[in-house]
Structure 1
Amino acid sequence: MDVHRVSNHNQMDYNLDNMEPKHGKMLPCPEDRFDSGLDSLKEDELVTEFEDMTVDAHDHTQEYEPWRNAVTEDGDTPLHLAIIHEATEHALHMIKLSHNHPFLNLQNHQRQTALHLAVITEQPLLVEKLLKAGCDPRLTDDSGNTALHIACKRGSLACFGVITQNCQRHLTSIVSFPNYNGHNCLHLASINGYISLVENLVQLGADINAQEQCSGRTALHLAVDLQNPTLVRCLLDLGANVNCLNYGGFTAYHLTYGRQNEEIRCQLFERTAQELRELPDSESDESDMEDLDLSEDELYDDIKFGK
């Protein structure tokens, strides 16, 4: 069951090919399961639970234990639930009482922290409060994504801005860190076509020529795979190396073979070294250049099972 109240905020950098507004809401990514099994917990029951867990802000005794130790069968804490259901006041109260407390970094059974869920539900205020209270931005979920990875994957400029402004100490490592599919933040922003995030990441120091770990594609290779001429032009303007080879020995220009977009082909032909314009002799089979459905970043995994 997905969270149904993911707000449609103006700050989001939409990729209209991959996510479309519906009835004023944004549909969650199909592979993301946000509620961690909340079917058994109704909204009215949730409110009752929060009221029962009210804590006196001046009492630092064992009264903290009941709500800090409470978890659902899916590992969600009261803070997780408050964020999922956008019970902002309850969430802010628990964050305030848990400054630098391990409670803020507890992970549910999908290894999501409160910070992950605040980004997923597009609540930048809670993202900021969590970070300032001591939530660790380096923690990853069961897909290897930090909260910043999720912001880049979903195109959330608001949450991206809050995280990057409040994580200067760890920003370099988080930006370059690959998830379990081998993709760093720049790869995710590129795969999903978020031009603004690509520009911001490069300005923040992201390596524009970093290779994703599955097949060695750079952001420029990914832009060609996506047949996104605007992204190709953006990356070239930002200084992407057109002569960088993926693990198969292909430049971004090589990936234009068998594809229709002449604008991309012309942009890359002019900049690619002459000796790198022809396909490698041993790899000239056009079957290696088939178009891929790139709606999900996981599809870049070159290892296919069950075939």
Structure 2
Amino acid sequence: MSGEPKHGKMLPCPEDRFDSGLDSLKEDELVTEFEDMTVDAHDHTQEYEPWRNAVTEDGDTPLHLAIIHEATEHALHMIKLSHNHPFLNLQNHQRQTALHLAVITEQPLLVEKLLKAGCDPRLTDDSGNTALHIACKRGSLACFGVITQNCQRHLTSIVSFPNYNGHNCLHLASINGYISLVENLVQLGADINAQEQCSGRTALHLAVDLQNPTLVRCLLDLGANVNCLNYGGFTAYHLTYGRQNEEIRCQLFERTAQELRELPDSESDESDMEDLDLSEDELYDDIKFGK
């Protein structure tokens, strides 16, 4: 399945393929049922609803499809009739819940309704991302706000939880340069010095790799520790070597401990010092083979 559906919107991010059934949707009998579906206004939560068992070959339920197509009224009816029902947490073949899809399609109203109806914000997709991870990766302030306001019970664990690439929410917001999200996450208790699991970079290391002086300044103002070492033994200041941005170098020089300003003599691995293409957060993987 390609990242561009034949029907519907162009995907803003190829890896966030949320339309897993659209190629064959117009021919699928499920679509006719979905489009003609009506539900009563009163609560049938405990009663059998046949649409809860309907699923496409890609694992999408009618609720998934309603969210994908932004059929808000259909989605709201199904959510209302499924309060605290396992149906709300069903995952498609990409392990996306309705909550994931509501964030991807930027529908904060549905995000709120899903959470209040009992959708589990801790569930992860096939990349290990919760709905909050996706909001941070995509820079969705609206969905971020709804999730954090409605998930107080699990917020600490979700914020610190790493995805399968070793990145938590703060790392994703930093990699993608979303200053407001970085500030909000730290205010909510995110560990500003947490190390991503691939190479031990903190958000400050990532900001230097991005050559983003505004993000560097923001993290310093928020209390980032400039003397943290990544797994290669490098501070954020070490990562300014060989890079052009003098503003970043100056910001870090005075704050970095004098004994940590020089590159470690025993280290000659240039993989930590080279500029990286950060279009995908998965590129933060320093594992090298054949050396």
Classify the TM-score, shorter chain. over 0.9
Instruction: Map 1:211-230 onto structure 2 (within 5 A).
Output: 211-230=195-214
Residue 52 and residue 121 in structure 1: after superposition, are their counterparts in 2 closer, same or farther (change >3 A)? same
1:55 to partner: Cα distance: 2.7
CA contact (8 A) 2:34 2:62 kept: yes
- Partners of 2:64 and 2:6 in 1: CA distance: 25
Matched residue, 2:87: 103
Secondary structure (helix, strand or coil) at the match of 2:197 reads coil
CA contact (8 A) 1:55 1:64 kept: no
Residue 137 and residue 47 in structure 1: after superposition, are their counterparts in 2 closer, same or farther (change >3 A)? same
Q: C-alpha deviations, 1:216-243, integer Å up to 9, x for none? A: 0000000000000000000000000000
Matched residue, 1:208: 192
Matched residue, 1:166: 150
Unpaired segments ≥5 residues, structure 2: none
1:24 to partner: Cα distance: 14
Secondary structure (helix, strand or coil) at the match of 2:205 reads helix
Matched residue, 1:94: 78
CA contact (8 A) 2:210 2:278 kept: yes
Residue 29 and residue 42 in structure 1: after superposition, are their counterparts in 2 closer, same or farther (change >3 A)? same
CA contact (8 A) 2:11 2:17 kept: no
- Partners of 2:43 and 2:63 in 1: CA distance: 19
Q: C-alpha deviations, 1:260-283, integer Å up to 9, x for none? A: 000000100010000000111111
CA contact (8 A) 2:159 2:169 kept: yes
CA contact (8 A) 1:258 1:286 kept: no
Work out whether 1:46 is the aligned partner of 2:14. Answer: no
Residue 223 and residue 61 in structure 1: after superposition, are their counterparts in 2 closer, same or farther (change >3 A)? closer
1:38 to partner: Cα distance: 1.6
CA contact (8 A) 2:3 2:15 kept: no
- Partners of 1:37 and 1:284 in 2: CA distance: 49
Larger relative contact order (Cα-Cα within 8 Å, sequence gap ≥ 6): 1
Q: C-alpha deviations, 1:194-235, integer Å up to 9, x for none? A: 000000000000000000000000000000000000000000
**Matched residue count:** 290
- Partners of 1:152 and 1:115 in 2: CA distance: 14
Unpaired segments ≥5 residues, structure 1: 1-17
- Partners of 2:276 and 2:169 in 1: CA distance: 21
1:306 to partner: Cα distance: 9.1
Secondary structure (helix, strand or coil) at the match of 1:39 reads helix
- Partners of 1:304 and 1:153 in 2: CA distance: 26
1:284 to partner: Cα distance: 3.8
Match of 1:248 among 211, 227, 232: 232
- Residue identity over aligned pairs, in percent, reads 99
Q: C-alpha deviations, 1:4-39, integer Å up to 9, x for none? A: xxxxxxxxxxxxxx9999999885112221111321
Matched residue, 2:50: 66
- Partners of 1:275 and 1:24 in 2: CA distance: 56
1:75 to partner: Cα distance: 0.3
Secondary structure (helix, strand or coil) at the match of 2:48 reads helix
CA contact (8 A) 1:55 1:63 kept: no
Residue 235 and residue 59 in structure 1: after superposition, are their counterparts in 2 closer, same or farther (change >3 A)? closer
